[in-house]
Amino acid sequence: MGCLMDLIGTRGQIDMGIGRYDTVLTALTKRRRRNHRSEVLLAIEQSLRNLVPSDDADEILWKGKNDVYKPKFITRDTWNHIRSTTSKVSWHKALWFNQATPKFRFCTWLALRNRLTTGDRMAAWNVGIDGSCVLCNQHLETRDHLFFSCSYTSMVWRKLVQNLYRAHFSTDWSTIVEFLSQSGDDRETLFLARYAFQAAIHTLWRERNARKHGEAPSSQGTIIKFIDKAVRNRLMSLRRDHHARALRGAYQTWIGAVQA
């Protein structure tokens, strides 16, 4: 009849007199049969009367797709059962792509959800906090300002990807995310555009936090070199990865775009 808890829940389990962790054998031999008003509970009582205790060993079954129980454990099926599924967000392609760096991706995920502790959010939590941007000292620090409308970050962004993005280049957050969320035939350029986006967000956020904590500021040139090196190192590792053959020419594409 399926999983007892799915059928009758905790209240029904109590009414049946069956413990949550009881075995079927315990339910057959160590409980008193009861009368019920519920048809489901009566059907379970009848099903138990029809069962005959067996000496066979217990068998573990895993709940799979479409609630079919199988002897084989499948990670995907179990994960889908324990998580809450929702529709895909519009920007998922800009974030979830192969060969991304986890720490860059996580920081970008927070930015896309507007969950970074930017100045505007901190000021909303505490009226006495100065929410101005520590990179330009001119505007309120919001997610969209920091990436990449700020005079400091926009120059870094322009030097890195203007020649790569070409006609799609922008310093507007929504425009950039919309472009990166699209599909395209040029896998190399799209990978570079997305990876540079994530590397820039992570690096600039670190620089912002360093200044917030009183550390010496880094010049725009230093930040550009740091991001450029991060992208090159990732591309060099891909050249030795047999799973990334489609991106073998990405290193030359990146060098040409940055040095142009």
- The predicted pLDDT at position 244 comes to 66
pLDDT digits (tens, 9 = 90+) for 101-113: 999 999 999 999 9
Domain ranges, ordered by start, for the chain? 4-82, 92-259
- The predicted pLDDT at position 246 comes to 67
pLDDT digits (tens, 9 = 90+) for 7-21: 888 888 888 888 888
Distance, in Å, from the CA atom of 204 to the CA atom of 156, rounded to the nearest integer, reads 9
Q: Which long-range contacts (CB under 8 A, 24 or more apart) does 81-86 make?
A: none
pTM of the model: 0.74
- The predicted pLDDT at position 31 comes to 80
pLDDT digits (tens, 9 = 90+) for 187-210: 889 999 999 999 999 999 999 999
Confidence of residue 67 (pLDDT cuts 50, 70, 90): confident
Q: Beta-carbon neighbour count of residue 90 at 10 Å?
A: 11
Q: Beta-carbon neighbour count of residue 82 at 10 Å?
A: 7
Which of 35-49, 161-175, 236-250 comes out lowest in average pLDDT?
236-250
Distance, in Å, from the CA atom of 234 to the CA atom of 98, rounded to the nearest integer, reads 12
Q: How far is residue 158 CA from its own chain's centroid? A: 27
| DSSP secondary structure, 181-243, as one string | TS--S-HHHHHHHHHHHHHHHHHHHHHHHHHHTTPPPPPHHHHHHHHHHHHHHHHHHHTT-GG
Distance, in Å, from the CA atom of 24 to the CA atom of 93, rounded to the nearest integer, reads 47
Residue 99 has phi, psi (to 5 degrees) of 75, 15
Q: Hey, what's the torsion of the CAs at 194, 118, 150, 161, to 10 degrees?
A: -10
What are the start-end ranges of the H helices in 51-186?
75-82, 92-95, 102-112, 119-125, 143-144, 151-165, 173-180
- The predicted pLDDT at position 146 comes to 98
